[in-house]
């Protein structure tokens, strides 16, 4: 299960260093390359909340085998993609696979180990493997792209996914027979609309920057996104078994925490692409050199993951959120300054360290606030919403900041300045929202939650 988690986590960051090589292979610019990142995270975020329910309804082992297999097949398709369009389709399928497979894998771990120290150790391994996957993705991308080619960043996971499938067949206990009459109806319409809304929004933003795109196509996509969002609310209000019960939005702190998560994740995801584009496209550093240059970011992420529980208990969640937003805003300013001065690669390291601080401190504080005041019945919903807000916020942030910043129609402006200004604007809105939230829980509660 942890091996599957590792390669899915790797897939989140491994693509960043390879983006310029992918763009050169298919003759697409940085503006269009956002689809390689956004396609994965949008479908993952849209389907994520459905994943846990599918596992409970159809059986964890069945869902795990099916969706891990889908992730592996999509990875193979991405590595062999003959055109950029096929690569984007593969990334969309990867997102669906990971969104449904991961809840089933985590549930399998929980049920394999009894509650207490054994389960705590197992979940600790699970979380550590996820962090290592994100970190190794940066370095692995540079090494693989430089020596094997960008296609192998996708192909390398295929044999390991096959290992997961075989191990699941032999080591994981079979599911009970499905009781169709007792099973609640799935909110497939809600999941479809939740995925369509950010996808259409991304399509409208990206196409708006393409020269020659008719205005009706842009407005049509954006109108479709609004219609999907309104439709989602209406479907959830009428559904007997909604994907996201509307009563969830009655808790102000949780709603504000999730909105702020979207804004912070958008800026963080944007920063990863800006680092990659600056090092490789503006400075001409190769994939391996770019991956090594981003190593301080990876190492500092691990450091902050160790320190954050103490900070959360000492400062409180809201203070951590404000600090994370401030660190990230400072990173945006540093990135814009380095790009304006056309400084060398190491000059970007302070911005990377600030991003690691913002990600480590801010997101953990928001995770705590996003599940504040939940009952046993709401805990799963609150966790799923927070995870979806993280992924969808990152995808939307990349679409807006990088999509608009690197749009050919704005060639007279420095794309790094435009992208960082848009991200900083979102962070400012997030800071206002966080500042007006009720004070965070006492330090003792925060320590308990972080543990």
Distance of alpha carbon 223 from alpha carbon 302, whole angstroms: 41
Six-digit token pair at 154? 């996708």
On the question of pLDDT at 74 being above 70, the answer is yes
**Are 337 and 389 a contacting pair, CB within 8 Å?**
no
> What average pLDDT is seen over the chain?
81
Least confident range from 111-125, 213-227, 282-296, 426-440: namely: 111-125
Whether residue 132 is predicted with pLDDT greater than 90 in this model: the reply is: no
Confidence of residue 78 (pLDDT cuts 50, 70, 90): very high
Distance from first CA to last CA of the chain, Å, rounded? 22
Name the CATH code of domain 249-451 (choices 1.20.1250.20, 3.40.50.300, 3.30.300.160, 1.20.1050.10). Answer: 1.20.1250.20
Q: What is the distance between the alpha carbons of residues 174 and 21, in angstroms, rounded to a whole number?
A: 43
pLDDT in tens, 382-406: 767 777 788 888 888 888 888 888 8
pLDDT value for 123: 66
What does the pLDDT read at residue 178?
56
The CATH superfamily label for domain 1-186 reads: MFS general substrate transporter like domains (1.20.1250.20)
Quick check: do 1-186 and 249-451 share a fold?
yes
Confidence of residue 421 (pLDDT cuts 50, 70, 90): very high
**pLDDT higher than threshold 70 for residue 411:** no
Q: Which of 96-105, 204-213, 279-288, 324-333 has the highest mean pLDDT?
A: 324-333
φ/ψ of 427, rounded to 5, equals: -65, -35
Distance between CA atoms of residues 77 and 74, nearest Å: 5
> Residue 303: its pLDDT value, please?
78
DSSP 282: I
Angle between the 2-26 and 60-80 helix axes, to the nearest 10 degrees? 20
Which residue intervals of 156-286 are DSSP H helices?
158-171, 188-208, 215-238, 252-277
Whole-model pTM: value is 0.77
> For the ranges 2-6, 103-107, 150-154, which has the lowest average pLDDT?
103-107
Domain ranges of the chain: 1-186, 249-451
The reported pLDDT for the residue numbered 398 is: 86
Backbone conformation region of residue 342, classed left if phi is above 0, alpha if psi is from -120 to 50, else beta: left
**Which pLDDT band, with edges at 50, 70 and 90, does 440 fall under?**
very low
User: Is the pLDDT score of 100 beyond 90?
Assistant: no
Q: Residue 300 belongs to what H/E stretch?
A: helix 295-315
Band of pLDDT at residue 375, cut at 50, 70 and 90: low
Q: Give the separation between CA 326 and CA 357, rounded to whole angstroms.
A: 10
Which among 269, 256, 270, 272 has a CA at the least distance from the CA of 385?
256
Asked if pLDDT for residue 361 goes beyond 70, the answer is: yes
- The torsion angles phi and psi of 156, rounded to 5 degrees, stand at -65, -25
Quote the CA–CA distance of 326 and 187 in Å, as a whole number.
38
Greatest mean pLDDT range, 37-41, 92-96, 392-396, 406-410: 92-96
- Average of per-residue pLDDT across 186-213: 78
For 222-267, write each residue's pLDDT tens digit. 899 899 989 988 888 888 777 777 777 777 888 888 899 999 999 9
| Lowest mean pLDDT segment, chosen from 69-78, 111-120, 409-418 | 111-120
């Amino acid at each position: 299960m942890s091996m599957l988690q590792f390669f899915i986590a790797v897939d989140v960051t491994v693509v960043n260093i390879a983006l310029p090589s992918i763009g050169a292979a298919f003759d697409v610019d940085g503006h269009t390359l956002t689809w390689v990142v956004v396609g994965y995270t949008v479908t993952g975020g849209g389907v994520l909340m459905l994943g846990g329910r599918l596992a409970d309804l159809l059986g964890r082992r069945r869902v795990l085998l099916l969706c891990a297999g889908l992730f592996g097949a999509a990875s193979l398709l991405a590595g062999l993609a003959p055109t950029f369009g096929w690569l984007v389709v593969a990334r969309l399928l990867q997102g669906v696979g990971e969104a449904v497979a991961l809840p089933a894998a985590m549930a399998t771990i929980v049920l394999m180990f009894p509650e207490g120290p054994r389960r705590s150790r197992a979940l600790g391994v699970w979380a550590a493997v996820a962090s290592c996957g994100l970190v190794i993705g940066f370095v692995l991308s540079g090494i693989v792209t430089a020596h094997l080619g960008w296609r192998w960043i996708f192909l390398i996971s295929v044999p390991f996914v096959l290992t997961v499938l075989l191990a699941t067949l032999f080591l994981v206990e079979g599911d009970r027979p499905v009781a169709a009459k007792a099973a609640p109806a799935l909110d497939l319409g809600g999941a479809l609309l939740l995925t369509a809304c950010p996808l259409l929004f991304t399509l409208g933003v990206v196409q708006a920057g393409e020269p020659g795109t008719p205005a009706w196509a842009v407005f049509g996509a954006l109108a479709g996104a609004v219609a999907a969002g309104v439709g989602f609310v209406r479907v959830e209000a009428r559904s007997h078994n909604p994907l996201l019960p509307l009563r969830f939005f009655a808790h102000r702190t949780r709603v504000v925490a999730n909105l702020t998560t979207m804004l912070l994740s958008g800026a963080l995801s944007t920063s990863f692409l800006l680092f990659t584009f600056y090092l490789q496209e503006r400075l001409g550093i190769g994939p391996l050199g770019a991956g090594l240059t981003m190593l301080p970011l990876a190492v500092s992420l691990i450091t902050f993951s160790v320190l954050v529980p103490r900070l959360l208990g000492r400062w409180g969640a809201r203070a951590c959120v404000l600090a994370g937003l401030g660190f990230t805003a400072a990173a945006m300013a540093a990135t814009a300054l380095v790009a304006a001065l056309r400084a060398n690669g190491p000059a970007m390291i302070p911005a990377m360290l600030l991003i690691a601080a913002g990600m480590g401190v801010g997101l953990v504080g928001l995770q705590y606030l996003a599940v504040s005041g939940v009952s046993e019945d709401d805990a799963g919903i609150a966790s799923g919403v927070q995870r979806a807000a993280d992924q969808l916020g990152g995808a939307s942030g990349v679409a807006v900041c990088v999509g608009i910043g690197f749009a050919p129609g704005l060639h007279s402006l420095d794309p790094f300045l435009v992208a960082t200004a848009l991200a900083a604007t979102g962070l400012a809105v997030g800071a206002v929202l966080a500042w007006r939230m009720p004070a965070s829980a006492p330090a003792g509660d925060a320590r308990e939650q972080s543990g």
